[in-house]
Amino acid sequence: MKLKALLTFALLIAFSSTALAAAPIVIKFSHVVAQNTPKGQAADYFKKIAEERTKGRVKIEVYPNSQLYKDKEEMEALQLGAVQMLAPSLAKFAPLGVKEFEVFDLPFIFDDYADLHKVTQGPVGAKLLKKLEPKGILGLAYWDNGFKVMSANKPLKTLADFKGQKMRIQSSKVLDSQMRSVNAIPQVMAFSEVYQALQTGVVNGTENPPSNLYTQKMHEVQKYVTVSNHGYLGYAVIVNKKFWQGLPADIRTILEGAMKDATKFANDVAKKDNDEALAGVKKSGRSQIVTLTPQERDAWKKAMDKTHKDNIGRIGADIVKEVYAATGYKP
């Protein structure tokens, strides 16, 4: 009887350690946008190829639409290890103590995606990601979204149109300056709260790439959308450093390969998604599309240029100059 009990015990131990060995490594990937956005699709694509290539040894749980955490909370959750992967907008890194990413928020700094890639795919981009490491975070990649439109319940064309408009912004001091430079009143707010704030009039307007505006149905609660392309919004894919470095080396290598392919996927769909989203806004007839004459756009650029001067000290002159040199931007 004693022997039988011992044998059962030994079998139990053997069984549970096999079960433990077979338990997949879980990576929780939280984000705040809809699944059918460039970031949402890229996160799902990363999940698919990472799980396939690791043959069940890794399970990626993607939580879209602020399901798990809102903007500020998700950064804290990553540092605490409650989630392992995020792709926050580049405008949201200052609360971590890394203000340099706000260089991406400077108005009119990138003419197009080609200009942007000179930074995100070049040495300045790599240098910026390195700045996250002392915070316990590793930057794996940049994922594109797109160039921003400005929406409100009045057509925003001339500088005078902005006066007194309460505009929701992401938590970036550069975006705060940008709105102030045209006499609008910036208001920081989590992405998940924007639709309701627009609907109830807590704010009058906002800025975002069309893909975010359309998938959150913001155009249904905004009368006008100005296609200004005055600034850029994109992401850094980040992981908890301790977690990432603690992964078995072969798994980490496979995940890095999957991230490379997911990055290509993200950057390939971003422009198309934004073009389609803008077409969707137009087709819906819910808000009217406003276009700027070259003179009007130039007036925005001139007024917003102050944002560059006012924030060089905050972002760091070296970074700003390196980005100017990469893109050929002339202040």
How far apart CA 52 and CA 45 sit, in angstroms, is 11
Q: How far is CA 114 from the centre of its chain?
A: 19
Identify which of residues 145 and 307 has a Cβ nearer to ligand LMR in the complex.
Answer: 145
Instruction: List the one residue from 30, 172, 208, 327 that touches ligand LMR (CB under 6 A).
Output: 208
Residue of 120, 170, 226, 327 interacting with ligand LMR (CB under 6 A): 170
Closest of 180, 87, 203, 190 to residue 138, by C-alpha: 87
Shortest Cβ 152–ligand LMR spacing (Å)? 16
Query: Does 212 interact with ligand LMR (rule: CB under 6 A)?
Result: yes
Number of Cβ atoms within 10 Å of the Cβ of 218: 26
Q: Which string of DSSP letters, residue by residue, matches 135-152? A: GTEEEEEEEEEEEPEEEE
Q: Which of 89, 94, 32, 92 is nearest to 62 (CA)?
A: 32
Please identify, using beta-carbon distances, which residue of 212 and 307 lies nearer to ligand LMR.
212
The size of the interface with ligand LMR (CB under 6 A), counted in residues, is 8
Residue 61 or 193: the one with the smaller Cβ distance to ligand LMR is: 193
- Structure tokens, 53: 């290539």
Q: Is residue 237 a contact point for ligand LMR (CB under 6 A)?
A: no
Convert 82-109 to b/e letters by CB count within 10 Å (16 or more is b).
Answer: ebbbbbbbbbbbbebebbbbbbbbbbbb
Binding mask 24-63 for ligand LMR (x = CB under 6 A): --------xx------------------------------
Residue 153: name the closest of 219, 208, 102 by CA: 219
Nearer to ligand LMR, 181 or 212 (CB): 212
Helix (H) or strand (E) holding 251: helix 249-284
Spatial strand order in the sheet of 205-208: 185-188, 166-169, 205-208, 149-152, 224-227, 288-291
Contact status: 191 vs ligand LMR (CB under 6 A): yes
Cβ 266 to ligand LMR shortest distance, Å = 12
215 near ligand LMR, judged by CB under 6 A: no
| CB nearer ligand LMR, residue 129 or residue 175 | 175
- Examine residue 89 and tell whether it contacts ligand LMR (CB under 6 A): yes
Q: In whole angstroms, how close is the CB of 211 to ligand LMR at the nearest point?
A: 8
Q: Least Å distance between CB 274 and ligand LMR? A: 11
Handedness of CA 42, 36, 152, 226 (dihedral sign): positive
Interaction of residue 274 with ligand LMR, rule CB under 6 A: no
Map residue 25 onto helix, strand or coil: strand
In terms of CB distance, is 32 or 262 closer to ligand LMR?
32
Greatest Cα pair distance, the chain, in angstroms, is 93
For residues 124 to 153, the per-residue mask of contacts with ligand LMR, x marking binding by CB under 6 A and - elsewhere, is ---------------------x--------
Which long-range contacts does 158-164 make (Cβ < 8 Å, 24+ apart)? Answer: 158/296, 158/299, 159/183, 159/299, 159/300, 159/303
CB of 33 to ligand LMR, least distance (A): 5
Q: Does 178 bind ligand LMR (CB under 6 A)?
A: no
Q: In the complex, what is the shortest distance from the CB of residue 185 to ligand LMR, in angstroms, rounded to a whole number?
A: 17
Give me the residues that bind ligand LMR (CB under 6 A), please.
Answer: 32-33, 89, 145, 170, 191, 208, 212
